[in-house]
Amino acid sequence: MIIGQRIRELRKRRNMTLRDLATELDIAFTTLGNYERGDRQPDLDLLISIADFFGVTMDYLTRGDKFTNLDELNSIEYTKDLDKLLSLVRPEIRGQYLKIYEELFSIIIENAVNNRDSKELILLEQILNFIYRMKFSFKEDEIEKYSVSTKYEVTKVYLKEKRELDKLIDELFEIYLERN
């Protein structure tokens, strides 16, 4: 019975008649009515078509899961994973991690909500990639083992990247300056 209830619920959310949805799914509207009442069950191929049409998971249609789509489910799982990771962070610095995360998240969400062009996000991503590369390219305990010439080469690469980083930050500043 869950399947029929879900189909009816999704159809009504879209303000569709039985005929409208039946036409979209290429089935008879009487057959669709039978599915909604629970008199018959759709086959697997039709269930997949219905799930795709409404953008929901098969679990939502067949098992009554509360998550309507994969994005919503992934978001919940991501939050749980983040909570687990944060529980491993030393309590005295957990606040700093949360502040950085919240600030980055608010910039990204504000950009998405206001439908700004993606230039800002591209610049932010490139800046964060620079920080990531810098952190994981140079391990503190390994730098001491580098020869003088290797340290020189590493410094050259860093300075070149730093110039690129400065350009990215300048571009980002110009975007923010134009908005205000």
CATH number of 2-69: 1.10.260.40
pLDDT score for 148: 60
pLDDT in tens, 143-173: 555 566 777 777 787 888 889 889 999 998 9
pLDDT in tens, 128-144: 888 877 776 655 555 55
pLDDT in tens, 28-85: 999 999 999 989 998 888 988 898 888 887 877 877 666 555 555 555 556 666 667 7
Alpha helices in the chain (DSSP H): 2-13, 18-25, 29-37, 44-54, 58-63, 70-88, 91-113, 119-137, 140-143, 148-179
Query: Is pTM beyond 0.75 here?
Result: no
